[in-house]
Amino acid sequence: MSRAATGAPVKQGSQYWIRNIVNDDVLRQRFEGMIGASGLDWFSPLAKDQYKEYQLCSRDVYERLNMSSRFPYEEWRKQFSFWAGWPRRQPVWDGLAVDTDVNAAGRTFYIVEAKARISEMKGTKMTASDPESRRRITKAMYEVYNIYYGHKGDFDKWTNGCYQLANRLTFLHKMNSKRCMFGFQTKLVLLNICNAGYGRTSDRQWRDYYKRVWPMMIGTDHEPDNVLVINFDVR
């Protein structure tokens, strides 16, 4: 499958909030302002499309980014072959959007990962059981760790403890390594929902979490290049 239908009703959690933010004019404008953008072309999760979410290798994403003007779909699909399980088992993204107004720096593609609680982030591990899949995933992540972060931090955390965040970073850097080919830069938005219902996580708790996790992963408490950490209060 190159796209995942996730149209079932939800009443809480990160999926509930990303749907509300993207489909509500006021919330969407507020969120776009926080990432330094406006009037983005959102293509997931949209109410009119039953809130479908997409893998980056999908034809839907290829077409919405107008990649057909550059190369055929099969060429786009091949760019994601670095990940184990390709093309059927790729990460599905909570939100995807692209600039409508192209500035001097070119277009920006926003890939969004949303969380409502820190517990969703802690202790995530690589779950692939097939040795070849584990080898390919580890190889892709280690290339990013080595090239972009210079062996700083603890690579073991990328596969054991911070795996979900690590694989999102891997896709970010792999996308930007193809910037000239694709014709746009990519930014990863880590959307952290604050004060949402039971087990709520505060802005301070999110900030403290990232102050701990970045040094473990990349050896600095600064956000990586092209990563936007957004704490969105929903009270």
Peptide bond into 131 cis (omega under 30): no
Phi, psi of 220, rounded to the nearest 5 degrees:
-150, 155
Four-residue CA torsion sign, 167, 28, 230, 203: negative
In sequence order, the 6+-apart residues with CB closer than 8 A to the CB of 137 are 83, 84, 126, 128, 159, 167
Checking if the pLDDT of 79 tops 70, the result is: yes
Model confidence at 182, pLDDT cuts 50, 70, 90, reads: very high
pTM: 0.93
Assess whether pLDDT exceeds 90 at residue 84.
no
CB within 8 Å of 86: residues ≥ 6 apart = 57, 80
Structure token pair of residue 170: 């891997």
The predicted structure's pLDDT at residue 37:
95
Contacts of 168 (CB under 8 A, 6+ apart): 91, 111, 113, 188, 190
- pLDDT, mean over the chain: 91
Give burial (CB, 10 Å; 0-12/13-18/19+) of 217. Answer: buried
Instruction: Tell me how long the chain is.
Output: 235
Least confident of 4-13, 37-46, 70-79, 222-231: 4-13
Res. 223: pLDDT tops 50: yes
116 close to 14: Cβ distance less than 8 angstroms? yes
The tokens of 15 are what?
């999926």
Distance, in Å, from the CA atom of 89 to the CA atom of 206, rounded to the nearest integer, reads 29
Domain locations in the chain? 3-121+172-233
Mean pLDDT of 72-86: 86
The model's pLDDT over 39-49, given as tens digits with 9 standing for 90+, comes to 999 999 999 99
The per-type count for the chain, helices as H runs and strands as E runs, is: 9, 10
